[in-house]
Amino acid sequence: MSRTILVVEDEKKLSRLLMDYLKQSGFSPFCLADGLEVVPWVRERNPDLILLDLMLPGRDGLEICKEIRSFSNVPIIMVTARVEEIDRLLGLELGADDYICKPFSPREVIGRIKAVLRRTEAGSGVSEEHLLDESRHPARRKLTAILSADVKGYSRLMGDDEVATVETLNHYRAVISSLVHQYSGRVVDSPGDNMLSEFTSVVDAVSCAVRIQEELKGKNADLPMNRRMEFRIGVNLGDVIQQGGKIYGDGINIAARIEGLAEVGGISISGTAYDQVKNKLPWRFEYQGEHAVKNIQDPLRVYRVVMEGGDPGHREEDGLPDKPSIAVLPFVSMSGDPELEYFSDGLSEDIITDLSHFDALFVVSRTSSFSYRDKSANIKNISNELGVRYMLEGSVRKAGSRLRVTAQLIDGVTGNHLWAEKYDGDLTDIFQLQDDITRQIVKSILEHIPLKEKMAL
């Protein structure tokens, strides 16, 4: 007898395609588009598996998943947008068995469905026996280091070549698992293209993350550019609830959110993790600012791990680069004029760009510098967080068609002002004015920072 699959999907074109493929694969599919109809249908019909889109009219998909799991152990595969990492993790905590991210190929869906059904039949899916076994282990809280790793562009890779992608993913998972165990961690879960691991030491977690990216970078070098499988990794130190072999809670959600802020092939860590490792590891940590993320009440401090060979341009003994280093903070617009805001941002960006042309200088990226916009912070603290010696800040004011820019260069270690100047101009040709002021400011900076070699503009 064919298995009954309930497809909960409001996109008509996608639901028709899924229905056709399910029928061709020997399943008996039914489709619902309204979230309010799902729970009554499941109670009455008891399907063999549910393919549940989390974004539905009428009712939130996570609420549906939670209610279904309160009375049924029917396997559930979530359908999510790739950016909604937190929803996937919440769904897994609520009892979903797997997830698949849009866009996807129908064949990938069929493969996931068959895999979940096989696991359920083998007793490794959500079942009464499994729930009873978990209930033998009382829930307890603990502080743990969480590593979340996710493939960037997984759906594209699957669309190009499903077989090769699955083979590469399985191989890379084995590499990651081996490294996790080497650093005294354990793999908690590996749904879809995500891997979730925990460590008793956040130093071990970050060290493992660096090794993972180094190993995978070497393996990707042997693959064509369009077939490389690159991971983003997020590390958090947080409180979780453990029951049996599973862990739950905001500590995991934060790790997933931070992973989403990491660069492709890179690592980002939370402020709580940074506070524990900043003086214990050879790598430099670049502040990415505070980020407000979905379903987390307070903004998160995030730091990027600079991995390039331990970043030889930086000294471990004092945390500063061997060459002069500078961060250009966003110039402050002193009025609510949108045009002045654009000018202020453009001026800061041009200064960063022009300074970056000189190899004898280490210049903090725009992303890191601009994370301090509209924040009141001590210059010494910013200098320490960004790992630089010098800071440039300034403001922009307008009166009629006249513009005044002020700029000041500060030693971030001592807090002393090294140089300050004001520049006046006419807004008749705003781009020429921006170029002129940028050139003058950059020239003054180079004159007031001690350099090992003479640089000319």
Integer Cα distance of 170 and 228 in angstroms: 14
Instruction: Quickly state the pLDDT bin for 456 (edges 50, 70, 90).
Output: very low
Q: Does the structural domain 137-310 have CATH classification 3.30.70.1230?
A: yes
Integer Cα distance of 174 and 170 in angstroms: 6
Residue 209 contacts residue 233 (beta carbons within 8 Å)? yes
Instruction: Pick the most confident of 3-12, 96-105, 314-323.
Output: 3-12
Name the DSSP class of 226: G
**Average of per-residue pLDDT across 82-111:** 73
pLDDT given at position 313: 37
* DSSP SS3 for 424: strand
* DSSP SS3 for 5: strand
pLDDT, tens only, 332-345: 888 777 778 888 88
pLDDT given at position 86: 63
Which residue would you say has higher pLDDT here, 405 or 97? 405
Joined together, the tokens standing for residue 177 give 């698992």
pLDDT given at position 110: 85
* DSSP SS3 for 425: strand
Joined together, the tokens standing for residue 101 give 């991210």
pLDDT given at position 146: 96
Task: Please give the CATH topology (third level) of the domain spanning 4-134.
Answer: Rossmann fold (3.40.50)
Integer Cα distance of 278 and 274 in angstroms: 5
Is there a common fold for 4-134 and 325-448? yes
pLDDT given at position 118: 79
70-103: b (≥16 Cβ within 10 Å) or e: eebbbbbbbbbebebbbbbbbbbbbbbbbbbbee
Residue 237 contacts residue 273 (beta carbons within 8 Å)? yes
**Average of per-residue pLDDT across 154-178:** 87
> Domain locations in the chain?
4-134, 137-310, 325-448
Which residue would you say has higher pLDDT here, 14 or 85? 14
* DSSP SS3 for 27: coil
Candidates 34, 89, 39; CA nearest to 63 is 39
Which of 256-260, 376-380, 392-396 comes out lowest in average pLDDT?
376-380
pLDDT, tens only, 110-152: 888 888 887 766 544 443 344 334 444 567 889 999 999 999 8
pLDDT, tens only, 429-450: 888 899 999 999 999 999 888 7
pLDDT given at position 204: 94
Task: Please give the CATH topology (third level) of the domain spanning 325-448.
Answer: Rossmann fold (3.40.50)
